[in-house]
Structure formats: structure tokens, C-alpha cells
């Protein structure tokens, strides 16, 4: 590709958007080049394809004017590209995406080859169908196209930009910590922009401002040294299943609150701005719960359904087992019983303290002869970005400009590992703003990305880059 | 065998006991004939041996002067023998034993062929080693020898006697109900004497005066219609494991009592005579519990350890399962969770009411969206014999005469199916008085019966028959 022409207009954003609009077909063609590469990171046989996808990104960004290279790891390489012409006094934005995709199985459920991208008609206009259409190649290329438009119209970018593409996101990011640590200096930006999430709905963009953390623990209550006959020992011998249920039955109070002392230490009430924003979302708990056969929000009384999902911590028993589990009945008092729990955490809670407090909660309730042992399976804190952070204000403005309405400020009840990794390894907060929809069928057959979402994603990214510049 | 000589002495019991003492070797030889027959009811290949054992019993009793026959069932036959010469005004005693034995596996752990009975030296004198030595052939033959001595010395028996031998006791008594129903008229005795239990210790005989019954139930709590991701639904969606543990955690109060309303309806305090007898037993709860790694009686405060084992009802969770049970952790909210419970019951409790009350207990504690379903696996009431029943008074006297000390009046925390069957099908109470010891290794390699126990068993049975006559 030849050097891009530099056009100097009085309102560059208008021209940048017009450039995106006018080059949509070319943008889609570039996306299709990437979609045709079956970069399935979970399958060793596709390692060469993964590397091809990384090289495609490196070369594409190089042609656009970035300084781009692969960053090798013990696993698949990262791609790192920088464009710092905006100068040291502009914000430094780190864009994160991933070039790998999920396996395409089951292949027989696809209407076309998952790596032969199609444009088909759908209820919201044209859509792109391919593995990776939205997760994450479509989202990545929509950002590339925003950069391309800036460069085409103004000859530069309004901020310093570093792009990091990972190649193992779909198989658990085994080398991400290594990559972030190796590239710590290069990645020393002001914040991270991650385009791997969804809009609130087709008309409304969204920014995910909080994620819940997680602490996982397993508790085993041991009683007798061997399984006992309940006729010969029942009544006099401690039953560890009875003991375990007695302890865990005490976890929640009648109002749905968690009774572990200290559990809520550091948990702040929901910020009024978020509460107000959530009220506007029109979340329908009856429909949400009705889809899975439920009716009643089961969390803390006095907390809204969305707060129960996004802003309040939980204590879930994910598994329990002990004694006889076959057909019929067996008169056994087992030697032990086990439960696996996870706590969803919100900002302010210390995951280590949560585990310690749980262990104390159990130990304080042990009956004579009951012994408790614990296994811990890792812990990560909750995450939240202040609505007042400059990049957050900028993002809200850019999205409102593009969509004519404010972005939904949403939470997520689960953790997102890359967000945690950026915080842990390079100390950066993350702006989560993506353009997928809930019905995009990521990880499933016939994954799709609405062309309108791809297009508006590129336009919004172009506005975001400008807005970050202040 | 020729007709037995009739000897008329002034004190027939002294001569009857002398006859038993003088014929011990012959008695053991007769027992060995039966022990050599591998009548393993659980193994089809031994069906012919089982029938051979039944025929041996029929022929032995016939030669002794009984009217004996096989009673066919859809399974293995019973043996029924009657000697009613004592006349209609004497009590009618039904003796129960079984001619079948457990499999002998693992054979390599036996010091000799399990069906080639040996007399070996042990710490308490000679002992008989063979499969069935005590369970139940040795106990059955010791009773036969008591009858033989009565017949030899007096020419008759002091009571009307019906003997019932079952051939399927060791494989769950699948045809016992059929046998009892078929023979209801023949078996219409005053009570049953079962010789299939143990002495309290080598010096002290025992009568088991109570058994606990059993009610078995399974409860499944269902929440969402499918397994959910705890990040996306945690807090707002009912977790059925949390719900189940919350309900079951409420089963017991801080004093070890069961909190199900109505659970103790009909439960009488322990009879003072039993309480006094149990105090004499020298039961050592520390040793009993120490054997299985425990220290503290776990039942109701204020109830003695033996009362917790024998006289008080329980609510045991025998099994529990739900959600993820593999290694590590999984952030799942499962669709359902299940627990299996058994209640040990004491006389006065209605098993059906116990199940109904438990179901109400669960349903009263269901959170919104939780559904409970139940499976019931049968129920049997507790059993107790009055210490004042004539046969019980007679048995206590006969045992005290033989051993020079009162029999231990003991309970059993488990049920004994034949006792329940006699009550259910032919309405009879059971006198449980046997001469095994806890270390006899029944069902295990090198099963043994002390010759002294066999001998004293025969002497005690001879006294019992006389005592029952009043």
C-alpha cells in the first residue's frame, strides 16, 4: 500500500467518519482476509495459522504506519504495534484485542465453512458470519479501520497508541502474564481500551464499569475415621454431612445477606450515578429469570436485581458431596463430606480476608470431633473504574455523540481475566467498550457480527481516539 | 437312629444338662455334618448345597421325633418341623434360624477350607472354625441339641415347639414373606425365639429387648431449569445447594435434638429397669468411639451414650450431592441438589408420620423458586419387647440360672429384618437370645464359634424350653 494521503479539513472528525462510511466495503474485505485464517489457539494443528494471523496483523499495522512486531512467548506470540507521533504530551492509550478464535465445532451446525466468511441478510440488515466475526477479529478490525481513517484524513493519530494483540485468549491466556511482564515498558500506557464486550442493545452502546472478583475455596468436614453403619453408630457418632449442612446452612440470613463476620468489610453502597444509570436500562428481571425457570431475585433484600447481579458479593455453593449417591438408600455415616464454594467479590473486599473469614466461620461452628480442612483455588478482587476518570468521561461523550444517547453504564457479575491481568501485571485500569450483541453466538456455530455494529464500532472508535486527546 | 430311651428322674433338668455335657463330642460331630455342606444362598451354583442343608435339617429333626418337611417357595425352601406332644395348654414356641451361609471369599485368608470345619485352640479354649460356625449353623445345632437332650431324658419337650429354618437369610430373605404367609397357620405360635445374636461378653448372656426402626427418604431441591454460570447469575438466581443446606442445617438443635415438629411424638422415656440394666453393662463410650476416631457422644444432650445408640431416634444424612464434584473449582449454580436421609426410629414413632413431618419441615423452609421432590424408600417401626412378657421373664430366669448372673438387657440401634417380618406377617414378638461373641468374625474369613459358647448355648436353650413351660 502506498503512503496514505493527508487531507487537512477544518472539521477532521466529520471527514474521518465520512472516510469510514465511504470505505466500508474495503474495511470488510480486510476483515475477511483475517477471518479466513483459522487461528484456533486451542488446537496445536492450527499453531501455524495462529502465527499467520499474528503476521497479518503486524503487516497490516506496519502498512498503516505503525511500528509493529511480534513479541514471542513460550506459547503463541503477541503482536505489538505503536504509533506515537502525537507526542509525549498526549495520553497514551493501550488497545487490547486477540487474534485467536474458538474451535469451530460442531461443524455440521454451520450453514457455511466457518473460515469462509459470508455476508448474509438478517433482521437488522447485513451480517458477517464466520468464526471470529465478532470475537474478536471483527472488533479488532473495526478499531484498525478507525485508526486508518484518522491516518488517512489527518496523517496522524490524536493520541499515542500502543496496540497489543494476544494469541491465546480463547485457551485461557497461559502466556499473557509473561507477555505483559516482558513488555512492561512498551505497554506503560495511561489505560487500556478493550474491545471484546457487547453493547446494551442494538441501539445503545455500553461501557462496563465494574466486574466482580472471585475467591474459590473447598471445605471438607471429617468425622469418623471410616464409614460407619448408621444402625450401629447412629446417634452417638458425629455425622459429617449433618455437620457440614449445619455450618453451610448458616451462610445466609433471612434477608439474603451473607452471615460470615467481616464479609462486607469495605463494600461501598452503590454510587448514585450508577444507580440512576441502571434504572434507565429497563432491565427486566422477570424475563431474565424466567428464561431459566425462576421468578424471584434471590439476593439481598433491599438491593435491586441489577445490584444483586453486578454490585453485591455472593457466597455460592457450587458443589457438594459426601456419603452414598447411588440409587435407593444406604444406612451409612460417611467419614467425610465436602463442599466447593465461590465468593463473587466487589471492590473493597480483600479476597484473602474473605477466605480467612470463611475458614473462621467454619471453624467457629465445628461440633466436637468434626475437623475441617480447606483448599483454596485462587482469588481475584473486584474491579471498578471511576466514572470520573478522564478516559471514562471521554468515552461517554464519544459514544453519546455517535449514538445520540448516553452509553449504558453496566456492570458484569463475572470476572474478565485480561482486566485482572492488566491491573496485576502493569497496574492499568481498563475501559471495556465493545460492539457485539448478546445474540452474536460467540463460541457457537454461525457466529455473526452485524455489519451495522462493525461500522458503528469503527465510527465510535474514531471518536474515542479523538475524545481521549481531550 | 433308634427310638430314644425315656429316663424318668426327679430332677429332669439336671439330667438334661448332664446329657448335653456328656454328649458334647457327638453334638459337635452333628454340627460338623452341617458345616461341611457349602449352603451359600447368594450363589446360584450352590443351590443344590442349600437344598442338601435343608434336607439334613429335615432328616435330623425327623429322627429326633419331629414332624418335619420342606416348605417350598419361589426361592430356596424353608424347613418346618413340629413337636407338639406337650399338649395344647403349653406355650407354643416358634424357633427361627437359617441354614444358609455367607460366601466364603476371600478364600486365601482362611487358614483351612471354610467347609472343612476345624477345632483349634484359642484364648478361651477350643473353638470351631468354619463358614457358618456361629452364623447360624452353630446356633441352630446348639438349639437342636437342647431339644435332643430333653427328648432323650424325658421322652418329650416341655412346650409345643415349631422350628422354622430359612434358606435365604444371607441374601436378603427375598422369599421370607412368602414363606411366612404360606405357613401362617403352622407358625401361629405365642412368640418367636431367634438364636442369631450375640452375648454381651464371654461371661454374660444377653437378650436384645429393642431394635430401632428405619424410615428412608430422599429430597431433591430444584432451582433454575438448567445449570447457570455463577458470574452471570450469582446473587439473583436461587442456588439449590445453598437452599438444601439451609434446610438440612436446621435439622438439629444445639442440644443434638431433632427439630422436625412432631418428630418425638410417641417417644417414651427410657424405662427405669432398662436404664438400670444398661448402667450395669460397663459400656465404655470412649473405647467404642475411639475405635472409629471419635471422642464425644454426638446425640441428644442429657441422654446416656447407650440411650443415644439404642433408645433415641436419629436423623442422619447418608448422602448428599449436587453441582461440581471434580478437582478444582467450577463457577456453576446447579439446577438441583439432593440428599438421602434415614431416620432411626424407636417404638411409639409412626414411620409414615415421620416422613410426612420431614416433608412438611422441608416445604415450610422452601425459599421462593425452590421446589422440593421426595422419594421414600420404605419404613419400619421400632420394636421393643416388654420386660414383663412371660417369655421374657422366663428367659431372664433361665439365663441367670445357667450363667449365675442376670442376662444383659441390651438394645440394638439397627433393625433386624426377620424380627420385623415376624411382626408384620404373623403378628409375633421375638425373643432375641443368641450365644455368639463380637469377635466371631461372622461374614469374614475364619469365622469361629467358641466350643464353650456352643455348649452353654445348648444348656441355656434346654433351660429356656423348660422355663417357657412356666
Residue B379 CA to its chain's centroid (Å): 16
* CA proximity to A132, closest of A433, A448, A439: A448
Cell of A333: 455415616
Taking each helix axis from N to C end, the angle separating B12-22 and B24-35, rounded to the nearest 10 degrees, works out to: 60
Question: Does residue B7 surpass a pLDDT of 60?
Answer: no
Q: Is B452 an interface residue toward A (CB < 8 Å)?
A: no
Nearest to B413 among A232, A315, A415 (CB): A232
| Chain B partners within 8 Å of A288 (Cβ) | 236
Instruction: Kindly state whether A398 is in contact with chain B, defined as any CB-CB distance less than 8 angstroms.
Output: no
Which cell is A231 given?
A: 444402625
**What pLDDT, on a 0 to 100 scale, did the predictor assign at position A1?**
44
Cα–Cα distance measured from residue A394 to residue B255, given in angstroms and rounded to the nearest whole number: 62
Q: Are B125 and B444 in contact (CB under 8 A)?
A: no
pLDDT in tens, B35-72: 999 999 999 999 999 999 999 999 999 999 999 999 99
A369 to chain B, any CB pair closer than 8 A? The answer is yes
Which strands form B125-129's sheet, in the order they lie side by side? B118-122, B125-129, B448-450
Residue A329 with chain B: CB contacts under 8 Å: 216, 218, 318, 340, 342, 377-378
Helix, strand, coil shares, percent, chain A, to 5: 35, 25, 40
DSSP state of A62: H
DSSP class of A328: S
Query: Containing H/E element for A164?
Result: strand A160-166
Dihedral (CA of B297, B301, B307, B308) sign: negative
Nearest Cα residue in chain A from B254: A367
Opening angle at CA A108, ends A103 and A110, nearest 5: 70
CATH code of B213-267+313-380, in short, is 3.30.70.360
CA–CA min distance B332, chain A (Å): 5
Which residue from A minimizes the CA distance to B237? A298
Closest among A284, A138, A304 to A200, alpha carbons compared: A284
What's the topology of domain B12-210+383-468? Aminopeptidase (3.40.630)
Q: Which of B226, B298, B331 to mutate to test the interface with A (most CBs of A within 10 A)?
A: B298
Which of A224, A231, A337 comes nearest B414 by C-beta? A231
Q: A12-210+383-468 and A213-267+313-380 share one CATH topology?
A: no
Q: What integer pLDDT is reported at residue A415 of this predicted model? A: 86
Distance from CA of A177 to the nearest CA of B (A): 21
Q: Where are the domains of chain B?
A: 12-210+383-468, 213-267+313-380
Binned average pLDDT, 10 residues per bin, chain A of 470 residues? 50 95 98 98 96 98 98 98 97 98 93 98 97 97 98 97 97 95 97 95 96 96 95 95 98 96 96 91 95 96 96 97 94 96 96 97 96 93 92 96 96 91 95 96 95 98 96
| C-alpha cell at position A56 | 497479518
Helix axes B24-35, B47-64, angle to 10 degrees: 150
Q: At what angle do helices A47-64 and A137-154 cross, to 10 degrees?
A: 20
Residue B470: what pLDDT?
87
Per the structure block, which three cell numbers stand in for B454? 456352643
The nearest CA of chain A is from the CA of B190 a distance in Å of: 28
State the angle between helix axes of A390-403 and A451-468 in degrees (0 to 180), rounded to the nearest 10: 140
CA distance B365 to chain A (A): 11
**B63, B81, B82, B180, B212 from B67: Cα distances, Å:** 9, 5, 5, 18, 36
Ramachandran region of residue B134, left (φ > 0), alpha (ψ -120 to 50) or beta? alpha
User: Of B62, B59, B11, B69, which Cα lies nearest the Cα of B33?
Assistant: B59
In this prediction, residue B273 carries a pLDDT of: 87
Nearest to A119 by CA among A19, A15, A54, A27: A27
A216 contact residues in B (CB cutoff 8 A): 329, 331
- Cβ <8 Å between B252 and A238: no
Which chain A residue shows the shortest CA-CA distance from B238?
A298
Q: Give the Cα separation of A424 and A381 in Å (integer).
A: 10
Residue of B401, B411, B386 whose CA lies nearest to B277: B411
> Which chain B residue has its CA at the smallest distance from A249's CA?
B246
Q: Does A287 touch chain B (CB under 8 A)?
A: no
**Beta-carbon neighbour count of residue B32 at 10 Å?**
18
* Site from A232, A235, A336 to mutate, B interface, most B CB atoms within 10 angstroms: A235
Nearest to A369 among B214, B296, B324 (CB): B296
Q: What are phi and psi of B209, to 5 degrees?
A: -100, -10
Across the range B95-116, mean pLDDT stands at 95
DSSP secondary structure, A405-455, as one string: SPPEEEEESS--HHHHHHHHHH---EEE---B-TTS-TTSTT-EEEHHHHH
How large is the average pLDDT for residues B3-17?
71
Chain CA centroid to CA B385, Å: 14
What value does the mean pLDDT take over residues B453-468? Answer: 98
**pLDDT tens per residue, range B367-426:** 999 999 999 998 889 999 999 999 999 999 999 999 999 999 999 999 888 999 999 999
| Cβ-based contacts under 8 A for chains A and B | 288
Mean pLDDT of chain B: 95
In this complex, is the C-beta atom of B107 within 8 Å of any C-beta atom belonging to chain A? no
A286 in contact with chain B, both atoms CB, cutoff 8 A: no
Using the Cβ of B244 and the Cβ atoms of chain A, whether some distance falls under 8 Å is answered with yes
Residue B116 has pLDDT above 90, yes or no: yes
Assess contact for B287 and B297: CB atoms under 8 A: no
Confidence of residue B4 (pLDDT cuts 50, 70, 90): low
Mean pLDDT of B132-136: 97
Cβ proximity of B134 and B442 under 8 Å: yes
Orientation angle between helical segments B24-35 and B451-468, nearest 10 degrees: 100
Q: First and final CA of chain A: distance in angstroms? A: 31
3-state secondary structure chain B: CCCCCCCCCCCHHHHHHHHHHHCHHHHHHHHHHHHCCCCECCCHHHHHHHHHHHHHHHHHHHHHCCEEEEECCCCCCEEEEEECCCCCCCCEEEEEEECCECCCCCHHHCCCCCCCCEEEEECCEEEEECCCCCCCHHHHHHHHHHHHHHHHHHCCCCCEEEEEEECCHHHCCCCHHHHHHHCCCCCCCCEEEECCCECCECCECEEEEEECEEEEEEEEEECCCCCEEHHHHECCECCHHHHHHHHHCCCECCCCCECCCCCCCCCCCCCHHHHHHHHCCCCCHHHHHHCCCCCCCCCCCCCCHHHHHHCCCCCEEEEEEEECCCCCCCCEECCEEEEEEEEEECCCCCHHHHHHHHHHHHHHCCCCCCEEEEEEEEEECCEECCCCCHHHHHHHHHHHHHHCCCCEEEEECCCCHHHHHHHHHHCCCEEECCCECCCCCCCCCCCEEEHHHHHHHHHHHHHHHHHHCC
- A314 min Cα distance to partner chain B (Å): 6
Spatial strand order of the sheet with B213-222 comes to A371-380, A213-222, A336-345, A316-323, B316-323, B336-345, B213-222, B371-380
**Residue A11 touches partner B, C-beta closer than 8 Å:** no
Q: Say if residues B46 and B39 touch (Cβ distance below 8 Å).
A: yes
Of B244, B293, B342, the CB nearest to A331: B342
Whether A375 contacts A218, CB under 8 Å: yes
Cβ atoms A411, A169 nearer than 8 A: no
Q: Are A178 and A74 in contact (CB under 8 A)?
A: yes
The vertex-A446 CA angle with A441 and A451, nearest 5°, equals 80
Give the separation between CA B23 and CA A409, rounded to whole angstroms: 98
Q: Please, which residues bridge with residue B324 across strands?
A: none
ipTM of the complex: 0.88
* pLDDT tens string B424-459: 999 999 999 999 999 999 999 999 999 999 999 999
Q: CB-CB: which of A223, A232, A294 is closest to B414? A: A232
Chain A touched by B416 (CB under 8 Å): no
Q: Model confidence at B5, in pLDDT bands (50, 70, 90)? A: low
User: Under an 8 A CB cutoff, do A245 and B244 touch?
Assistant: yes
- CA A216/CA A380 separation, integer angstroms: 9
Q: Is B342 on the interface with A (CB under 8 A)?
A: yes
CA A182 to chain B, closest CA, distance in angstroms equals 29
* Gyration radius from chain B CA atoms: 26
Confidence of residue B1 (pLDDT cuts 50, 70, 90): very low
pLDDT digits (tens, 9 = 90+) for B246-289: 999 999 999 999 999 999 999 999 999 899 989 999 999 999 99
B444 touches chain A (CB under 8 A): no
In Å, how far is A377's CA from the nearest CA of chain B? 7
Binary contact (B233, A413; C-beta < 8 A): yes
> Measured between beta carbons, which residues in chain A are less than 8 angstroms from residue B318?
230, 241, 323-324, 329-334
Instruction: Report the residue from A247, A294, A369 with minimal CB separation from B238.
Output: A294
Taking CB atoms and an 8 Å limit, are A316 and B230 in contact across chains? yes
Residue B84 exposed, middle or buried by CB count within 10 Å (0-12, 13-18, 19+): middle
**Neighboring chain A residues of B377 at a CB cutoff of 8 Å:** 328-329
B368 vs A: CB within 8 A? yes
Residues in B 300-319 with any Cβ partner in A closer than 8 A: 300, 305, 308-309, 312, 314-319
A184 in contact with B, Cβ within 8 Å: no
**Distance between CA atoms of B217 and A83, rounded to whole angstroms?**
69
pLDDT confidence of residue A470: 87
Region of B294 (left: φ > 0; alpha: ψ -120 to 50; beta: rest) is beta
Residue A380, SS3 per DSSP = strand
Residue B208 at interface with chain A, using a CB cutoff of 8 Å: no
Amino acid at each position: 500500500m502506498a503512503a496514505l494521503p493527508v487531507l487537512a479539513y477544518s472539521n477532521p472528525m466529520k471527514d474521518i467518519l465520512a472516510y469510514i462510511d465511504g470505505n466500508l466495503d474495503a474495511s470488510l474485505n480486510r476483515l475477511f482476509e483475517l477471518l479466513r485464517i483459522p487461528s484456533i489457539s486451542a488446537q496445536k494443528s492450527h499453531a501455524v495459522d495462529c502465527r499467520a494471523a499474528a503476521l497479518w496483523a503486524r503487516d497490516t499495522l506496519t502498512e498503516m504506519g505503525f511500528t509493529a512486531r511480534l513479541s514471542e512467548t513460550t506459547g503463541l506470540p503477541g503482536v505489538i504495534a505503536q504509533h506515537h507521533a502525537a507526542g509525549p504530551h498526549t495520553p497514551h492509550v493501550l488497545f487490547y484485542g486477540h487474534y485467536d478464535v474458538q474451535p469451530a465445532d460442531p461443524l455440521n451446525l454451520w450453514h457455511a465453512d466457518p473460515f469462509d466468511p459470508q455476508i448474509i441478510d438478517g433482521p437488522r440488515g447485513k451480517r458477517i458470519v464466520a468464526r471470529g466475526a465478532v470475537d474478536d477479529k471483527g472488533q479488532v478490525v473495526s478499531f484498525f479501520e478507525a485508526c486508518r481513517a484518522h491516518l488517512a484524513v489527518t496523517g496522524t493519530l490524536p493520541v499515542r497508541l500502543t496496540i497489543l494483540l494476544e494469541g491465546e485468549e480463547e485457551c485461557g491466556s497461559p502466556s499473557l502474564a509473561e507477555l505483559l511482564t516482558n513488555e512492561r515498558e512498551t505497554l506503560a500506557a495511561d489505560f487500556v481500551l478493550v474491545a471484546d464486550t457487547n453493547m446494551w442493545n442494538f441501539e445503545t452502546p455500553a461501557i462496563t464499569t465494574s466486574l466482580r472478583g472471585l475467591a474459590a475455596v473447598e471445605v471438607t468436614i471429617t468425622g469418623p475415621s471410616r464409614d460407619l453403619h448408621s444402625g450401629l453408630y447412629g446417634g452417638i457418632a458425629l455425622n459429617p454431612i449433618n455437620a457440614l449442612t449445619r455450618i453451610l446452612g448458616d451462610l445466609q440470613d433471612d434477608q439474603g445477606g451473607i452471615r460470615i463476620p467481616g464479609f462486607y468489610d469495605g463494600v461501598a453502597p452503590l454510587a448514585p450515578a450508577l444507580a440512576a444509570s441502571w434504572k434507565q436500562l429497563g432491565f427486566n428481571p422477570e424475563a431474565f429469570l424466567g428464561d431459566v425457570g425462576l421468578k424471584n431475585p434471590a439476593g439481598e433484600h433491599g438491593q435491586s436485581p441489577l445490584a444483586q447481579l453486578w454490585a453485591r458479593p455472593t457466597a455460592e455453593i457450587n458443589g457438594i458431596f459426601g456419603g452414598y449417591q447411588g440409587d435407593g438408600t444406604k444406612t451409612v455415616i460417611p467419614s467425610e463430606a465436602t463442599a466447593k464454594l465461590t465468593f463473587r467479590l466487589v471492590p473493597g473486599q480483600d479476597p484473602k480476608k474473605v477466605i480467612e473469614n470463611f475458614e473462621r466461620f467454619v471453624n467457629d461452628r465445628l461440633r466436637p470431633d468434626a475437623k475441617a480442612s480447606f483448599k483454596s483455588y485462587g482469588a481475584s478482587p473486584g474491579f471498578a473504574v471511576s466514572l470520573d476518570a478522564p478516559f471514562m468521561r471521554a468515552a461517554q461523550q464519544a459514544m453519546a455523540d455517535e449514538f445520540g444517547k448516553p452509553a449504558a453504564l453496566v456492570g458484569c457479575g463475572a470476572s474478565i481475566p485480561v482486566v485482572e491481568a492488566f491491573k496485576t501485571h502493569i497496574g492499568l485500569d481498563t475501559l471495556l467498550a465493545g460492539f457485539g450483541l448478546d445474540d452474536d453466538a460467540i463460541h457457537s456455530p454461525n457466529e455473526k457480527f452485524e455489519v451495522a455494529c462493525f461500522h458503528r464500532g469503527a465510527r465510535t472508535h474514531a471518536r474515542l481516539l479523538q475524545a481521549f486527546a481531550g
